[in-house]
Amino acid sequence: MSFFIKGTKSVKTPIAVKKATISKRKGDVDAGGKTKGKKQNSKYNEEISSDSETESSIVAKKRPAREEHDFDETPQEKKLRLAKLYLNQLKEQEEEKGEDEAFETEVIAGRLQEEVLEHKGKLQRLIAKDLLPPDTSEIRLLRGHKLPITCLVISPDDKCIFSASKDCSIIKWDIESGKKLRVIPGGRKGTEDRHIGHTAHVLCMSISSDAKYLATGDMNKLIMIWEAETCKHLYKFTGHKGPVSGLSFRKGTHDLYSASHDRSIKVWNVDENAYVETLFGHQDAITGLDSLSRERCVTAGGRDRTVRVWKIAEESQLVFHGHEGSIDCIQLINEEHMVTGADDGSVCLWSVNKKKPLSTVKQAHGCHGNVGLEQPHWVAAVAALQNTDVVASGASGCSSNSQVQLWKCGQNYRGLEQLFSIPVIGFVNSLKFSHSGHFLVAGVGQEHRLGRWWRQKEAKNGIFIIPLKRKPPNQDQAQTEE
């Protein structure tokens, strides 16, 4: 199979049709100068299906609104004005951090350089060397779900956690107090018509980067869209022919990518309550999906043993091979690097420019079983502290010594070195770093999120909040002087 494959989209609105539709809409104006046929924004609690072939169901991505005021300036003057505005914003941010310190040009230069590297996908802040293992007494446990936690996300401001479970419920937690802010109860099978919420195991969720929307996917092939602040139900997306196993909002937008056991990826526009397109390529059930700000996503293909990078605009995909077992989880570190975990017990570090892993750690969480019949612990979850050299992995709970492992990525992501492990009893089904990097959250259950191969009764179904302590800034210097 070629590493670079063209023409991966089987369901896509032809470009000519899109342009014609847009032109038609632009020209469809009444005598009063108002656009005809514009629907009122009352689409809440509607259902949209990707099977629909109507024009409204394949709306192109939302076009930016025109500026309210037209500035009488040249393109060069506009660039200069925007650059000055951006520099003033950086200055205000730095002054807020330390009002008594003079604003230095070097600070601005450093920030700009970091943003350039981040855009290129090459930023790697070296913080792993400063991390310290947490004390067991500092780890908090939040309990509220009756069945195993399957997925969770952290709000962009690091104040809330959204979690979901096999009991079909969704809970919004306040991180500081540990209290429940909102609860969306699960419904019983057969009550789909009258129950607002999930009636099957929730397998995945994602929150938009502006914290406006929360998306959740379940075993019943449904995607639910919620208002993140109030947990009010907004839309229901249908069209997948298998359980929805992965969701991710494109950073800075309300474009949503979804993955399913039906081997497809779908693209949705949540603002428009619209289905956009479908991508095919995997040969087995997709088990994980992630994306950042670029118009592309990455997926783990389960037992087809491939990782794929989907370039939406270019209509192409890249195929990667490296694991020997089912690839169950995937996470982007930055725009150019990612980490995966598999049931062969390995953790792999990848570059999107190399079709083989940059680094592989086999038996990352050890083995279990009798002598001569040892089996590696499944790696059921991975997480990455974005744009740094820190990643984490979580093992399955087939023995009492399951754990969360923290790793240090080598220079240019060409190696993985174990930092420390945190004992956790149970299946680590989901891992997320806070955006600030001050803590790590683990969703743990008595069973694996995708099945019931075995059950660990002594495990607790809950959310572990693990603080990430750092060395004092002058500690290394003091040790050197001694």
Lowest mean pLDDT among 46-60, 146-160, 438-452, 458-472: 46-60
For 348, the domain range is 128-470
* pLDDT > 80? residue 443: yes
d(CA 433, CA 393): 11
pTM: 0.77
In a domain, 133, yes or no: yes
For residue 118, the model assigns a pLDDT of 61
In whole angstroms, give the CA distance from residue 437 to residue 387.
Answer: 11
Spatial distance between the Cα atoms of 442 and 424, rounded to a whole number of angstroms: 9
Residue 3 or residue 206, greater confidence: 206
Cβ atoms within 10 Å, residue 46: 12
Host H or E run for residue 140: strand 140-142
**Residue range 137-166: average pLDDT?**
95
In a domain, residue 196? The reply is yes
**Residue 471 pLDDT grade (very low, low, confident, very high; cuts 50, 70, 90):** confident
Residue 49 pLDDT > 60, yes or no? yes
Please give the mean pLDDT across all residues of the chain.
82
**What is the pLDDT at residue 110?**
62
123 lies in some domain: no
pLDDT(372) > 50: yes
Do the domain assignments include residue 61? no
Angle between helices 75-97 and 105-120 (to 10 degrees): 110
DSSP assignment letter at 377? P
- For residue 401, the domain's CATH number is 2.130.10.10
- Per the CB < 8 A criterion, the answer to whether 447 and 455 are in contact is yes
d(CA 235, CA 265): 19
For residue 398, give Cα distances in angstroms to 424, 427, 452.
12, 8, 12
Average pLDDT value for residue range 239-245: 96
Look at residue 36 and tell me if it is in a domain. no
pLDDT digit string, tens, across residues 51-100: 654 444 444 444 444 444 445 677 777 777 887 787 787 777 766 665 44
Indicate whether 206 belongs to any domain: yes
Joined together, the tokens standing for residue 188 give 């019983």
- Give me the mean pLDDT over the 162-188 stretch: 95
pLDDT at 433: 97
Question: Does the pLDDT at position 276 exceed 90?
Answer: yes
Average pLDDT over residues 313-323: 92
The predicted model gives 239-262 an average pLDDT of 96
Residue 17, domain member (yes or no): no
pLDDT higher than 50, residue 38: no
Residue recorded with tokens 């009063």: 32
pLDDT at res. 25: 44
Sheet-wide strand order for 4-6: 4-6, 316-321, 306-311, 296-300, 288-290
Residue 289 in any domain: the answer is: yes
**Domains held by the chain: number:** 1
Lowest mean pLDDT among 42-51, 229-238, 361-370, 418-427: 42-51
Question: What tokens appear for 26 in the block?
Answer: 């632009």
